[in-house]
Amino acid sequence: MILTDKRILEEIEKGNIVIEPFDRKFLGSNSYDVHLADIMSIYKDDILDARKHNKLNSFKINDDGFLLLPGRLYLAVTQEYTETHTFVPFLEGKSSIGRLGIDIHSTAGKGDIGYCNTWTLEISVKQPVRIYPGMPIGQLIYFEVSGEVLVPYNKKKTAKYNRRTKRPVESMMWKNFGNKVLNSK
């Protein structure tokens, strides 16, 4: 089940959901709007390798905005820091963003119980479009779960995205490999 606005407020009061900064006017009937921060990144290399640590070039989006171009992956971040201790958060694009041809995540829209951080966005566009810091970029939806969680995300030794940041975070897939080489079958 998806939490309603009233239930989201109740859970914020209990400390089960944290949104910083929080502004009541961004609370929808069953979601909370998140906003684009002013830092964006692109990978330094044109060819990415899942087994290596691909480095980023980060830059500030000024008040005149930034022009996104098709065929490029941009990593951005939400202004909002969130914590979710008993619910599963999903980040979805706003319909207004989708109607501009902007995708805010490739596959990573679901958070885990215990996720405590800003949200890195994997932005791509269908045609050139200018974006601005502070604009609404997505919405968080919270789902109830059935059963107890044995180890929340922020307590997992293998969690790769636990370091609190205000910058987009690159893929940490390379950490899955360690010194091993994948065997293809």
Question: Partners of 122 in the beta sheet?
Answer: 75
Dihedrals phi, psi of 59, to nearest 5 degrees: -150, 165
Determine the Cα angle at 79 with ends 164 and 112, to 5°.
55
Please give the helix or strand (H or E) that residue 8 lies within, else none.
helix 5-14
Determine the Cα angle at 73 with ends 179 and 114, to 5°.
60
- Return the CA Rg of the chain: 17
Task: Give 8's contacts (C-beta < 8 A, 6+ positions apart).
Answer: 17, 27, 30, 32, 142
The yes-or-no answer on residue 122 being catalytic is yes
Catalytic residue among 20, 80, 122, 148: 122
Q: Annotated active-site positions, please? A: 122
